[in-house]
Amino acid sequence: MKENMRPQIEFSHVLGELSVNRNDPCEVLRELISNSYDAKATHMVYVPLKDRQGFIFLDDGTGLDDETKINGITPWEAFFSIGKSTKKQGETIGYKCQGSKLCFACARILVATTPDKNKGTWKYKTIDNPRANLDTNFDITPIISNNINEILDSFIHAATADTATAISYIKNAIEDKNLSPSITLVLIDHLETEAYLKHFTFSSSPNESYVQNYIQFYTRHGDVRHLTTTQGFTASQRQQVTSGLRAADFTLFADEHTSKIPFGYPYLEKGNIDPSLKGPAQIARLRDGRFFSRSAKKFSVGPNKFSIILAIDGNRRAHDEYPNLGRKGQGKSGIRLSDQRGVFISVKGIKICKYPDILTRIDGYEVLSEGDAASHYSLIIDGDFDLVTNRSALSKRAYDTLTDPNFVSEIKKFLDTQFTTDYTFAELLSRLRRESSENLLNEQIEMLELAKSNIKSRERIRITDSTGEKHLFLSPQPGEEYLVGVMYSQLSALTGKNKDFEKYWRRIITFSTQGIDSLGLRDENAKLPLHEKNICSIEYKYEFNNFGPFNHALAVVDFIVAWGVNVDEDKPVRDTFTCFGNVRKIPGNTFEWEIFDIENTDGGTYENKITVINLRELISNSFDCKFTKP
């Protein structure tokens, strides 16, 4: 009996894809930090290994148990597996078990864990070139050891002084009595990443480094829901949004220096706000503003709960008090100030992406997403939004939530309340609305002034009519098909009774930007001037040619008036529908062509013939005129 067939999965190929840092080199740290918080760690330690282009990450969470299965797999197995996790959606951010795979983009990795360091039993695994060697046949059974120091020493061969200092610090950190007994350690050797020194290391001023700022602005340790009194949030706001959060101690060590990264997103401190400080309505230039305001609340949409946090800091205040963030070409830490201003979506406290689009759906607040408006505030919406696999963007399901009318209504309700109760927000919004209107008006004025200036260099036509009166016109330019129609209509009234050319000038009675451009009268003195047989259809073109399709059905057009005509009489004229016809020059004048023998692709024929007029040449023949150009 033939065996059942099953799909095959190339583990190493999938692993190779998942282990690429697509969003940011430090994504690997974001994932390790998320795992630590999910494991209820109270302490985390990060130590870069500059000489080996790697790092050590340690936490005292629940560890990687290799015996008790959850969701059919142990935590130890889940760390090395794809698509299998001990976590549940809604409880943690890492339920897809993809983030830890970023650790495997390296030359070697050591994973070690102990349920109780006091008993001295460690379980560990060392893998060389994990992206190539780790597959479904690889044995991940942990090795048992009673000496973590020997494990570390055997992994690091011929350590430099810098690396030896780092290893010594980690050994001492493991013995720290403040850490809980369970420890997990990840040591990465030769991480495959861009600009390792720029992104992963720091000097004696870690607050100026990329890695510390990344941890504060983009990871679970920089939880956007952590609000404090010193940042200007009220007790009620903190109770709604911050209640239940658990902070871990985070230590950085490098160059024999240790430093602590404070928990929570780095909203600016309120400080001593000068009571005479000018609000958005009083300052001469909005970009010089130092105004300040805070607000936050929790709301529900159906069974789901969300938080919204508004931190207003005038542009100048943000520039001055975020000294380590880059702006206008200044590198600083490498994290840009502009990337931290505006509207953001966060998931379980982790800021994921900008989302100004939500403001465009709320009447009256669209201006907050325009121009430099975002430089004055951060508006962060947090919730259990679903993310794509690498957790750097929102999924369609998340966007469905964000566009839900009930969800948008709650955001509007929050903004409406701010507008009526917070004078700083009200002044900022009013000022932005006014400046937006002024900017639009200024743009229109500039466009008008430019148009007035440009006409001085355009070709002009001076026409003397049958009564001797002179008239000034400008020649159309590419794109000005409408002007071709206007000139044709105006000049038809100036032809007098010149029988030689009267039949080429039709009395225009309609103009349209959709469908047929104009309807005209074949004979305006007819007894029934509006009878359908006396009505002709007219299309306008800057240039008529048969190099591409004509954009109207040839079967319904009577006249084509173009400023210029450029046709190849050996090629047919085709439209964008199903018709085509031949074209020929009418002898005896310089301005007339004819499209004839019109038929469609199914073989149907049409009796109409289309007169094509070169308006420039028709004007030259019909009037006493002169073309000049400055």
Q: What is the 3-state secondary structure (H, E, C) of 166-213?
A: HHHHHHHHHCCCCCCCCEEEEEEEEECCCCHHHHHCCCCCHHHCHHHH
Indicate the CATH number of 11-201 among 3.30.565, 1.20.58, 1.10.10, 3.40.120: 3.30.565
Q: What is the C-alpha separation between 86 and 81, in angstroms, rounded? A: 11
- Look up residue 527 and give its amino acid: K
For the CA atoms of 193, 199, 200, 202, the dihedral, rounded to the nearest 10 degrees, stands at 150
User: Could you give the angle at which helices 615-622 and 481-492 cross, rounded to 10 degrees?
Assistant: 20
Give residue 95's pLDDT: 40
Q: What is the C-alpha separation between 490 and 262, in angstroms, rounded? A: 75
Give residue 15's pLDDT: 54
Best-predicted range by mean pLDDT among 16-25, 79-88, 234-243, 464-473? 234-243
| Distances from the Cα of 544 to the Cα of 298, 479, 509, 541, 569, angstroms | 63, 12, 23, 6, 13
Counting Cα atoms < 13 Å in the Cβ hemisphere of 517 gives 21
Q: Please, what is the Cα angle at 6 between 5 and 7, to 5 degrees?
A: 135
Query: Is the pLDDT confidence value at 5 over 60?
Result: no
| Distances from the Cα of 401 to the Cα of 146, 301, 344, 624, angstroms | 51, 9, 15, 69
- Alpha carbon 496 to its chain's center: 61
- For every residue of 299-318, DSSP letters joined together read EEETTEEEEEEEEEE-HHHH
Query: For the sheet containing 460-464, what is the strand order?
Result: 470-474, 460-464, 624-628
* DSSP secondary structure letter of residue 528: S
User: Could you give the angle at which helices 148-155 and 161-174 cross, rounded to 10 degrees?
Assistant: 160
- Look up residue 106 and give its amino acid: C
- Look up residue 133 and give its amino acid: N
The pLDDT-based confidence of 223 (bands split at 50, 70, 90) is very high
* pLDDT, tens only, 6-41: 554 555 655 555 555 666 889 999 999 999 999 999
- Alpha carbon 57 to its chain's center: 32
Q: Please, what is the Cα angle at 429 between 423 and 430, to 5 degrees?
A: 85
Contact 500, 466 (CB under 8 A): no
| Distances from the Cα of 4 to the Cα of 7, 9, 10, 19, 326, angstroms | 10, 16, 19, 32, 59
- Look up residue 376 and give its amino acid: H
The ranges assigned to domains in the chain are 11-201, 286-441, 460-628
* DSSP secondary structure letter of residue 524: T
Query: Is the pLDDT confidence value at 508 over 90?
Result: yes
Give residue 87's pLDDT: 53
Closest alpha carbon to 60 in 113, 99, 120: 113
Domain 286-441 of CATH type 3.30.230: yes
* pLDDT, tens only, 85-112: 555 555 555 444 455 778 888 999 999 9
Bridge partner residues of 614 (DSSP): 562
Query: Is the pLDDT confidence value at 241 over 80?
Result: yes
Q: What is the C-alpha separation between 106 and 264, in angstroms, rounded? A: 30
Would you put residue 200 in left (φ > 0), alpha (ψ -120 to 50) or beta?
A: alpha
* pLDDT, tens only, 264-298: 999 999 977 666 778 898 999 999 999 999 999 99
pTM for the full model?
A: 0.72
Q: What is the C-alpha separation between 443 and 434, in angstroms, rounded? A: 14
Q: What is the C-alpha separation between 192 and 62, in angstroms, rounded? A: 28
Nearest-Å Rg of the Cα atoms of the chain is 37
- For every residue of 416-435, DSSP letters joined together read HHHHHH-HHHHHHHHHHHHH
Going through 476-609 in order, the beta strands assigned E by DSSP cover 507-511, 518-521, 535-545, 559-566, 573-574, 579-585, 592-600
* pLDDT average, residue stretch 129-154: 91
628 membership: H or E segment, kind and range: strand 624-628
Contact 55, 200 (CB under 8 A): yes
Bridge partner residues of 600 (DSSP): 579
| Distances from the Cα of 437 to the Cα of 286, 308, 364, 376, 574, angstroms | 15, 28, 13, 19, 46
